Structure 1
Amino acid sequence: MTAATSNGTVFPRCACRSAETGRQLGARCPQRGQPGHGRWYYDAHVPGPDGRQKRLRRGKFLTRAAAEQGLAQILELDGPDAMAETWTMKRWLEYWLSLSEDRLRPSTLRAYRSVTRTHLIPWLGRFRVADLDGRRGVKTVQRAVDAISRQEVADGKLIAPGTVHRVVAVLRSALSEARRQGLVSMNAAWRLRLPRSARPPAVA
């Protein structure tokens, strides 16, 4: 019941469990692949900018045909589009920081790493790069910035507005590089609602 290509595979999955062990039956389910039972998924391998293949799994398609269509569409994407659809923001931020090692002063790079680890990855790391594109991306980033702005630090005080501005400045720089590489069409970190600060920090 599995269909495969040189770069991908579609397969059915269901939530049926063994009456004896309670474990999912998976490939042992007697109804596996029957019309209307379970959902279809695909596994694809697409290239990243580092030349390595990235595994991508998507699912919950109602039919095998829909899963095969989804697989075909992802395999037709060029390098940047495929990367945007498969890389999480956590992976992109870490990759962007590695690109910045020769461009920034060590102290600046340490500050960027701290902001990324403390704020950006916890709030945005799970999203795909493509999720931060367009209007949807702006809304996603705005929700994350709003959540960061409500965080409490020592003695129950809210995080300083200047810190929030620095977080956004780092994200803006990371997304600018993503735009230069063709991963997104716009920078979702521009024109956000930010807490008032005396002066927005400059970005190298």
Structure 2
Amino acid sequence: MASTGKTFKRCGCRNSRGQRLEQNCSRLAQRGHGSWYFHCSAPNLFGRSERIRRGGYLSQAAARQARDETLADSAARRTGAGWTLERWLRHWLDTRTRIRPTTRLHYTRDVELVLIPRLGHYRLSQLDGPLLCAVFAEIAQTTNSKGKPQSPSALNHLRTTLRAALNLAVREELIDSNPARHIEIVGYRRPHAQV
């Protein structure tokens, strides 16, 4: 059951010791000082109650409206807006029961060594094609464990792992479409089968 939660105002002022005053600032009553936040609890896609906290609103009415819109959203939408890519990738790996051990090993390596360090802090709802293309361009500039530039084949494997994880997010309706489909790997040619 979703809770109505509450709204509150806070700011980033600090005291003489450098600690944030948050809701204890004496200037909070002044118009234009600080911003409004809300927090509430609502079930996620998997039925577990999660705390939702958002902020940066100019007025208490705007914070209330955002809270009401968030609670009116489907559980899948709330999960997509609240979960980071790191959390989703770990959940995705844990729920893959019908894959071979070597496939799991490769997925885990891609997720733990590259995808989480580079993209893990983004929320699922923040992911888009230009962001992923920029991150993959950065990854292409790095070197592999042997000190050589990243091969197009390795980058394609990373893209395949990310696409598979985000395809499940699309099927679960956490996001509308898979932004990983926009990633193009320069220099990658699909191997030609020889009989």
Name the TM-score, length of structure 1 as normaliser. Answer: 0.85
1:163 aligns with 2:154: yes
- 1:172-204 C-alpha deviation (Å, 9 max, x unpaired): 10111111111122111114221212427xxxx
CA distance in 1, matches of 2:8, 2:29: 8
1:25 aligns with 2:25: no
Instruction: Say which of 107, 115, 119 aligns to 2:114.
Output: 119
Match of 2:101 in 1: 106
1:139 aligns with 2:130: yes
CA distance in 2, matches of 1:33, 1:105: 60
CA distance in 1, matches of 2:57, 2:182: 36
Q: CA RMSD in A?
A: 1.8
Match of 1:129 in 2: 124
Match of 2:10 in 1: 13
What SS does the corresponding residue of 1:196 show, helix, strand or coil? coil
What SS does the corresponding residue of 1:15 show, helix, strand or coil? strand
| Structure 2: stretches of 5+ with no match in the other structure | none
Name the TM-score, length of structure 2 as normaliser. Answer: 0.89
Shift of 1:79: 1.0
Tell me: CA distance 1:154–1:181, structure 2 relative to 1, closer, same or farther (3 Å).
closer
What SS does the corresponding residue of 1:172 show, helix, strand or coil? helix
- What is the count of residue pairs matched by the alignment? 190
- 1:100-138 C-alpha deviation (Å, 9 max, x unpaired): 1x1101111111011011111112111111112xxxx11
Shift of 1:65: 1.1
CA distance in 2, matches of 1:55, 1:32: 25
Name segments (4+ residues, structure 1) moved above 4 Å.
none
Identical-residue share of aligned pairs (%): 33
